[in-house]
Amino acid sequence: MELASLEKQLSFLREIDRLKSVVRQSPLLDKSRKENSAEHSWHLAMYALVLSEYACGPVNANRVIQMLLLHDIVEIDVGDFPIHGGSSAQAQAEQEASAALRLFGLLPQPQGDQFLTLWQEFERAETEDAKFAKALDRFQPLLINIFAGGGTWTESGVSLEQVLSRYGPVIKRGAPLLWTVCEQWVTQHFAPRAAST
């Protein structure tokens, strides 16, 4: 019985190796290549470990870390939906929900349901933990764009107003102090371009 359970767990751990091949829009900071979703998930978990003191409300950093480790696994089936890609939020949510059922369904019960519930909590973004996790998931790519001198904003011709509206509400809701700092960086980043138009 225990071995049948272990077999399912190893099938899941084997399947999620594929997250290392899901390529995101954001580059590494040295711009040598695009980031993949597995290493992005590691980096985000480190963000949660380091920055939990900036959460808006009281959070359990370990639950936030668990959420962030899991949050992109659905991309194995549906790929990464870029923030500046203009895809339908409804269609994306439906595809990701099916992927979550299939992937977490590889695990034995009750473990599979526990992971699914945690992933759904992240997606709903109603609890303090989930709001903070979502804020970090916006904060990390924003930082990459700042540090990499524009990154996906330059590539996609994104404006100051679009950056403020696409990143701002989510970061501000989960980590207001981090948003205060972001606002300064973003405004500085767009300042020369704004002045020249």
Which residues here bind its own copies, judged by CB under 8 A?
2-3, 6, 9-10, 12-14, 16-21, 28-30, 32, 35-36, 38-39, 41-43, 45-47, 49-51, 54, 62, 65-66, 69-70, 107, 111, 143, 147, 177-178, 181
Closer CB to its own copies, 40 or 134, in the complex? 40
Cβ 196 to its own copies shortest distance, Å: 28
| Nearest approach, Cβ of residue 129 and its own copies (Å) | 13
Provide the minimum distance between the beta carbon of 145 and its own copies in the complex, in angstroms, as a whole number. 13
Q: Which is nearer to its own copies, 3 or 89 (CB)?
A: 3
**Distance in Å, CB of 128 to its own copies, minimum:** 17
User: Which residues have C-beta within 8 Å of that of residue 185, sequence separation ≥ 6?
Assistant: 146
Torsion angle in degrees (nearest 10) through CA of 124, 130, 136, 139: 40
Nearest to 68 by CA among 28, 119, 15: 119
Give dist(CA 155, CA 160) in Å, integer: 14
State the amino acid at position 140 in one-letter form.
Q
74, containing H or E segment: none
